[in-house]
Amino acid sequence: MNATALEKEYLPQALTDLTEEEELFRASVREFAEGEVRPRVEKMEHDAKLDSELIKQCFDLGLMAIESPEEYGGAGSTIFNAILAIEELARVDASISVFVDVHNTLVTNAFMKWGNDEIKKKYLPQMATGKVGAYALSEAASGSDAFALKTKAVDKGDHWELNGQKLWITNGNEAEIFILFATIDANAGYKGITAFIIEKGFEGFSVGKKEDKLGIRASSTTELILENCKVPKENVLGEVGKGYKVSIETLNEGRIGIGAQMVGIAQGAYEAALKYTAEREQFGQSINNFQAVQFQLAEMALDIEAARLLVYNAARLKDAGKPFLKEAAMAKIYSSRTAEKVSSKAIELFGGYGYVKDYPVEKFWRDSKIGAIYEGTSNMQLQTIAKLIMSGK
């Protein structure tokens, strides 16, 4: 009996084991990533812009409505399938991966959980078929202290009027529907935060400059400007003054998506290094014949598998309706460290070639760095984990 047969007979099902449906879904996303995304990566990186045809294909393939209910044009699937897609896309390009990630795990899920029937009927079909979503929380003085918002919302009777500026907004250029957080009462602290639904065409709303970033360069990260922006009264997501709940609970799930993105980056860098070390010859043989190189590859594989297990565990818990906050925080922090570590090691294994843009690994490293920053810094994840373990939860 070979090793594979022994594993199947005696070992319990691992978190990395996929159902037949999940395997088919993963394979379909990988086929898309290899066939359609990879040929466009270099140009998108150079132009610092996502290919518009690729965006259309993401909608056509259903990648923008993975968890959205079927009645609204979605697949009615799971967050686990969403992270499989995010991971497979990041294995090829992190920019298209985070584009799909934010639309699904932040924006669509916020509408699903907090939107009333009218809001769901209006916006979810649009987001399933062609309109990109963005999530606007951060401001110049509001990063880790997410509720120190300066953007203000004033009740004008028949509408809300918003004034302020948002920064670091993923999908800013492509999005047509924004979940945007503002305060109705700065003195009320987090109890004044309210989530509003903003459409790109609303009077007084505009998209500002696009940031020139180290990594995920094709992903648009922009500022948003609100100057007496008129928002219909019915465009409050959730309850007035309860926006903090919308943001916290949505970001908890979003961190699983970022974890999947980081696993994908690490996997892509690892595969590039594995291929290169088999082809590169020194001292009359492939460098992967040297034990020192083999051990480095083994360490990379070990870290990736551990990160993947953490991410998959958090997603399985979420789909099962069980607590997953601690697991999501652990998954994000560990996978972001893994992506940076593995991609850095890949550069070293490539030697001088790893430091130039003719080869892919320097991009994986640049793309990895954001994992420790957005959707909750690594320090904030450690704080979350510490609070939960100290409280006995």
Q: Are 58 and 85 in contact (CB under 8 A)?
A: no
* Residue type (1 letter), 147: F
Q: Quick one: pLDDT at residue 183?
A: 97
Q: Quick one: pLDDT at residue 10?
A: 37
Segments in the chain forming alpha helices (H) = 3-10, 20-32, 38-47, 52-60, 79-90, 94-101, 109-114, 117-129, 243-279, 291-319, 325-350, 361-368, 378-390
Distance CA 310, CA 360 (A): 26
Q: Quick one: pLDDT at residue 14?
A: 56
pLDDT digits (tens, 9 = 90+) for 26-68: 999 999 999 999 999 999 999 999 999 999 999 999 999 999 9
Q: Quick one: pLDDT at residue 104?
A: 98
Q: Quick one: pLDDT at residue 73?
A: 97
Q: Quick one: pLDDT at residue 6?
A: 38
- This prediction has a pTM of 0.95
Q: Quick one: pLDDT at residue 5?
A: 47
Q: Quick one: pLDDT at residue 17?
A: 83
Q: HSE on the CB side for 315, CA within 13 Å?
A: 29
Q: Quick one: pLDDT at residue 143?
A: 85
Helix/strand/coil for 230 = strand
Q: Domains in the chain, ordered, with CATH?
A: 16-132 (1.10.540.10), 134-241 (2.40.110.10), 245-390 (1.20.140.10)
Distance CA 40, CA 91 (A): 14
pLDDT digits (tens, 9 = 90+) for 239-296: 999 999 999 999 999 999 999 999 999 999 999 999 999 999 999 999 999 999 999 9
b or e along 361-385 (b: 16 or more beta carbons within 10 Å of the residue's beta carbon)? bbbbbbbbbbbbebbbbbebbeebb
Q: Which are the catalytic amino acids?
A: 375
Distance CA 156, CA 210 (A): 31
Taking 50 as the pLDDT cut, the residues of the chain under it are: 1-12
Q: Quick one: pLDDT at residue 146?
A: 81
